[in-house]
Amino acid sequence: MITLKSLIIHSRQSSSVIIGLCIGIAISIIQTPFIEDDCTRFDQFSGKLRDLRSDGTAEEDYEPKLIIDNNYNNENVPKSSKAQKILRPRYYSTELGIREKLLVAVISSKETIGSFGIAINKTLHHHVDKLIFFIDGIGSQKLGLDIPVVGFKDTKPLIKIFRVFSYLSENYINEYDYFLVVSDHTYVNGRKIYDIVQHISISEHVHMGKLMENPESFYCSVDSGIILSHSILQAVISKLNWCTRNTYSETDTDNLGRCILHATDKPCFSSLQGQQYVSYRLRDDAEVESHLQLIGTSSLVREAATVSNVAEASDMYILHKFYLQEELKRVDSSISKARNEISRVRPYSPRKKAEETWPVGSAPAHRPATRFDIIRWDTFNGTHIFYPDDFHNTRPVAGADLLDIMGVVNASILYITKTRGNLEYRGIEYGHRRLDPTRGVDYLLSLIFRDNTSGQTVTRKFEATRPLTEPEMIPMPYVTENTRVTLVLPVIQADIIKATEFINRYEVECMEKGEHTFLLLVLLYSPGTGSGEDSVDEFKMLKDLALKYTRKHHDSGSKIGWMTVHMLQQKPSDFAIMDLVMKKFQEETLILMTKHLAHLSNDFLNRVRMNTILNWQVFSPVPFTQYHPSTVDEKISYQKLDVSRTVGHFDRYNFDHLSFYAGDYVTARSAAAETIPHIRVEGDLKLDRPEEYDFNIYGLFLRVSNLHVLRAAEPSLKLEYQDVDCTNIIKHLSEQQHATCLLQQGSSLGLRSQLSKLILRYLRGEKEQ
């Protein structure tokens, strides 16, 4: 009874749920036919959409497949084609769309390019990013001028201006923001022009210049110069055919103005975004120098961006001098205003302020954090510098030091002459000089004068400074780390063991790592020995090792080869070896002279690639060289060849390593052919006189080449210790070379403290004996 009663109670509580469930099932059964019809209609509509996408061809319904397994491989699934490699531009600026600011196109002629063109180039080229001269009737004929000239073969003066635009569009349309077109009888104030374009937004369509005298004119004069933005030039290029067909005026101003107005509907303006384009026209009979004296104070002249109708090329230099003087006045005025403003606001600065700097507004002097950061003052007088380094007590004041010191002394004399005209300079009592990397060069001078009023000798103290100015980036040619480095290693019989170790290191560092290098062994056979099959080859072990590694790493970027040179009586000079080597390489080959004691690394080879530039620069690394093993106590660091001051030093007297391009060597070698004869074949080795040469290949580039020689410490180039013997070769060296050899010999043994310990040990051992 209890069970039945509880069942009845529970059925009453769930009756509402059961009724709701039944109603839901009934409704779903009733709605099912209608839902199927809607799905059918939607499927038909979607099928039509698929037909439209596939050009009306009938296709089966798409059945999606969900692939969860990443390793799933179904032959029916089409394989995607190999992704194409993205070709990126050579420079970041190309990819980002960064352009230079201003290109100046000068309309010239073959009659005036040698006079007016040279004058414009000298006064303008260092103020703008690019300067090009356009002439007609010459084609590609050489003019013998060191300026960029573009010539047009046909002589059609009416369309010459449009040929200029066509050339600019083909070569420079995407490289510059603004283009200035001007005639060669116009002086261009480069600073003013560049300042104008610097203050105009690059998003603005710029058609700017000096309007013609006609008040209703929309054209600007080409003689006064016309500034066009990148966007305006693009629009003109698109209508260039129309402009050429509708050229009928006698002047470039009308033809160009009509073309720009047709292409852009934008007339010329003399004022834009707060910038005024002012141009001054000289009278036909004006004498420039006297004319400037009369009206030079006029704002129309001082603020002019261009001066047109210049009669003589020499007048360009007079105008340039005038505007340089005006620029100096503006700079001096701005400096004076800045100093006054700094002095005015100084009382309102915080109490805890840095000391007042001199000159006003200059960077404060360096404050050393520790005693190791103290900057040393150099003391000098009129003839010598005292304690110039840790190894010399005095050094004569000569060369760059003399020019530097006398420049400051002359400026001090000029200053006191203006303020005290009765003093006559007699000499330098003493002086101090300090190079502060955060400020510049500071000087303290005590100069001797004669007082012409009293006839007495007096001294005056001066404080001077040569502050650091705005640094300038020097443009360098583009280089990459993909260039193959050809290592040239001369080997004699006594160096076979060390050369074998070098090849083993080369195999590990270059061949196994796939470095793009080539090692050329120059095998120097002793007199009377041969390399043929009938004779015993003293270098057979090296050849076999080179073949073994080359075959082992035939797919890598590194190879090993050799060439044989049979010596006559003595070891040939580096000039003779390189002369024979050059026959095997092209001008674009990057060559690195090396020695068998060197330990190379990937970082060093990359620096060789980046610091050696064809027709521009050679690289002379200063290697880290080990001290004599008897002087070094840290044997573990010595064996590992760690860069440490107790293990070795950077041997600044070592010039054995030098990297250069073959073409640069050939050019420099030809310039020294009269001093050092060329060695073209082995038979010419009899002409080689190593004992008579007072310089090496490093000195060759310094003496007869215009290339820059970069010499810098290279921690990634490490050399094992080798004795420096100056006694056996003293008769072959000049006095200067012998002194250099002695310095290298002394510095190669060890530190002074290490050598002192050896001496004490030796003396202690004698006492014990």
What is the percent of the chain with per-residue pLDDT over 90, rounded to a whole number?
A: 39
Instruction: Provide φ and ψ at 267, rounded to 5°.
Output: -70, 175
What tokens does 566 get?
Answer: 């049979």
* Distance from C-alpha of 3 to C-alpha of 698, rounded to nearest angstrom: 114
Q: Are 209 and 225 contacting, i.e. CB atoms less than 8 angstroms apart?
A: yes
* Distance from C-alpha of 19 to C-alpha of 29, rounded to nearest angstrom: 16
* Distance from C-alpha of 255 to C-alpha of 260, rounded to nearest angstrom: 9
Q: Are 719 and 597 contacting, i.e. CB atoms less than 8 angstroms apart?
A: yes
Q: Are 420 and 451 contacting, i.e. CB atoms less than 8 angstroms apart?
A: no
* Distance from C-alpha of 123 to C-alpha of 317, rounded to nearest angstrom: 7
* Distance from C-alpha of 261 to C-alpha of 207, rounded to nearest angstrom: 10
The closest of 494, 559, 504, 560 to 524, measured between CA atoms, is: 494
pTM flag (> 0.85): no
Q: Are 638 and 499 contacting, i.e. CB atoms less than 8 angstroms apart?
A: no
Please state, rounded to an integer, the average pLDDT across all residues of the chain.
Answer: 83
In this predicted model, what pLDDT tens digit does every residue of 638-682 receive, in sequence order? 888 888 888 999 999 899 999 999 999 999 999 988 888 888 888
What does 237-286 look like in DSSP terms, one character per residue?
HHTHHHHHHT---SSHHHHHHHHHHHHH----BSEETTEE--EEE--TT-
**DSSP bridge pairs for 103:** 130, 179
Residue 42 has pLDDT above 50, yes or no: no
Say if strands 378-380 and 306-308 run parallel, antiparallel, or are unpaired.
unpaired
Q: Who's near 466: CB < 8 A, 6+ residues apart?
A: 408, 440, 441, 443
| 609 C-beta neighbours (distance < 10 Å), count | 21
Residue 447 has pLDDT above 90, yes or no: yes
* Distance from C-alpha of 572 to C-alpha of 560, rounded to nearest angstrom: 22
pLDDT for residue 277: 93
Q: Which amino acid is at 301?
A: V
* Distance from C-alpha of 111 to C-alpha of 144, rounded to nearest angstrom: 14
Q: Which amino acid is at 239?
A: K
- Choose the weakest-confidence range: 55-59, 215-219, 392-396, 564-568: 55-59
Q: How far is CA 296 from CA 19, 183, 196, 300, 632, in A?
A: 108, 23, 21, 9, 74
The closest of 249, 284, 100, 79 to 179, measured between CA atoms, is: 100
- Choose the weakest-confidence range: 58-72, 91-105, 426-440: 58-72
Residue 82 has pLDDT above 80, yes or no: no
The closest of 690, 703, 618, 601 to 657, measured between CA atoms, is: 618
Q: How far is CA 394 from CA 134, 383, 389, in A?
A: 58, 10, 9
What does 24-39 look like in DSSP terms, one character per residue?
HHHHHHHHHHHHHHHH
* HSE-up (13 A, CA, CB side) for residue 300: 8
- Choose the weakest-confidence range: 37-41, 250-254, 445-449: 37-41
Q: Are 620 and 592 contacting, i.e. CB atoms less than 8 angstroms apart?
A: no
Q: Are 548 and 500 contacting, i.e. CB atoms less than 8 angstroms apart?
A: no
pLDDT for residue 621: 94
What tokens does 700 get?
Answer: 């060759």
Residue 115 has pLDDT above 60, yes or no: yes
In this predicted model, what pLDDT tens digit does every residue of 305-325 receive, in sequence order? 999 999 999 999 999 999 999
Q: Which amino acid is at 343?
A: S
> Which alpha helices (H) appear in 596-696, and where do they start and end?
602-611, 635-640, 662-671
What does 310-354 look like in DSSP terms, one character per residue?
---THHHHHHHHHHHHHHHHHHHHHHHHHHHHHHHHGGGS-SS-P
In this predicted model, what pLDDT tens digit does every residue of 237-285 receive, in sequence order? 998 889 888 888 888 888 888 999 989 888 898 998 889 999 999 988 8
What tokens does 516 get?
Answer: 């793009």
Q: Are 509 and 601 contacting, i.e. CB atoms less than 8 angstroms apart?
A: yes
Question: Each residue of 58-68: b (16+ CB within 10 Å) or e?
Answer: eeeeeeeeeee
pLDDT for residue 610: 92
Q: Are 491 and 522 contacting, i.e. CB atoms less than 8 angstroms apart?
A: yes
Between 47 and 376, whose confidence is greater? 376
3-class secondary structure, 491: strand
* Distance from C-alpha of 367 to C-alpha of 244, rounded to nearest angstrom: 68
Residue with tokens 């796939």: 514
Say if strands 598-599 and 279-281 run parallel, antiparallel, or are unpaired.
unpaired
Residue 31 has pLDDT above 80, yes or no: no
What does 177-228 look like in DSSP terms, one character per residue?
EEEEEEETTSEE-HHHHHHHHHTS-TTS--EEEPBPSSTT---B-TTT-EEE
